[in-house]
Amino acid sequence: MTASSPPPCSVLIADADDLLRLGLSALLTEQPDFAVEAAAPGRATWLARRLQPQLIVVDPRRRDSLDLALIHELAAAAPYSRLCLHTAVFDPALVPDALLAGAHAYLLKGRLTGACLRQTLALVAQTAVVILDQAIIDFFRGQPPGTLAVRIPGDQAQRVTERERTVLALLAAGLTEKDIGARLGIRRTTVGSYARNLHTKLGADNAVQLGIRALEHGLILPPESLARTASTNADGWTNKC
């Protein structure tokens, strides 16, 4: 790493599965972009509070369900950390709850190749949008209208304009409002207006809620697509998915 290079992303890995925990730690430390501060089977909240890492990768599995209390605790202990759930548990009823509890990403184990998983975790750490596993997106897209746990009053999502959809897609790809303005040839303040309109129309108070609402209407790209989009906009990004 040269003097001008950004510091590596500090990571906490909390997973009771020894093989997966050690494997993920080795996968991330292969690249200078990551610095694994701790990889432990437990004490996730204590470690998060002590280390304040940029990224927390945790399997909050409790038997065959998710430990929502642990997600809440981690979000409170490290409020500026990006929290990624990496688990084999997929309960559709708990996805909105997990995101509202503080998760920024929900990935299923065994779904991504090593290189693509590493890129996806880098994207989770760098962006302010919710990233979901393709299998989760496919499930919700296949559900009949009106059956999801989170709904938008008045169905204002149908009023999202094409330009707002474009802005939402670029936000999901990790671009800043300044970058989006440059790409679309509009002012940064105009991009900000589009973003505020999206929050209003989708009934979202923050980026996490915006991701949940976008999920309902199929507006969030899968991690593989996000990585490909980001590869065209981030210096030094190499897509290997």
CATH number of domain containing 98: 3.40.50.2300
Task: Kindly report, residue by residue over 60-105, the tens digit of the pLDDT.
Answer: 988 778 888 899 899 999 999 999 999 998 888 788 888 888 899 9
Task: Over range 27-35, report the average pLDDT.
Answer: 89
Verify that 135 and 175 share a domain, yes or no.
no
Over 90: is that where the pLDDT of 50 sits?
A: yes
Q: Is residue 105 situated within a structural domain?
A: yes
- Beta partners for residue 195, in sequence order: none
Q: Final residue of a domain: which of 101, 119, 141? A: 141
The pLDDT of residue 38 is 92
Verify that 110 and 42 share a domain, yes or no.
yes
Q: Is residue 95 situated within a structural domain?
A: yes
Q: Final residue of a domain: which of 103, 120, 141? A: 141
Of 72-81, 102-111, 125-134, 138-147, the poorest mean pLDDT is in: 138-147
Domain with 89 in it: 9-141
Average pLDDT, the chain: 78
Verify that 104 and 176 share a domain, yes or no.
no
The pLDDT of residue 123 is 87
Verify that 159 and 116 share a domain, yes or no.
no
Over 90: is that where the pLDDT of 111 sits?
A: no
Verify that 126 and 163 share a domain, yes or no.
no
Verify that 200 and 135 share a domain, yes or no.
no
The pLDDT of residue 120 is 87
Q: Which CATH number does the domain housing residue 162 bear?
A: 1.10.10.10
Q: Is residue 238 situated within a structural domain?
A: no
Q: Is residue 119 situated within a structural domain?
A: yes
The pLDDT of residue 63 is 77
Over 80: is that where the pLDDT of 228 sits?
A: no
Please indicate whether residue 49 or residue 142 has the higher confidence score (pLDDT).
Answer: 49
The pLDDT of residue 231 is 44
Please indicate whether residue 195 or residue 2 has the higher confidence score (pLDDT).
Answer: 195
Over 60: is that where the pLDDT of 2 sits?
A: no
Please indicate whether residue 203 or residue 38 has the higher confidence score (pLDDT).
Answer: 38
Q: Is residue 90 situated within a structural domain?
A: yes
Verify that 125 and 190 share a domain, yes or no.
no
Whole-number Å distance between alpha carbons of 10 and 170: 26
Verify that 87 and 17 share a domain, yes or no.
yes
Verify that 131 and 165 share a domain, yes or no.
no
Distances (CA, A) of 235 to 185, 201, 231, 232: 21, 33, 8, 8
Verify that 214 and 109 share a domain, yes or no.
no
Q: What's the structural domain count of the chain? A: 2
Verify that 21 and 48 share a domain, yes or no.
yes
Verify that 112 and 204 share a domain, yes or no.
no
Whole-number Å distance between alpha carbons of 10 and 8: 6
The pLDDT of residue 30 is 86
Give the other-Cβ count within 10 Å of 80's Cβ. 7
Q: Final residue of a domain: which of 141, 166, 184? A: 141
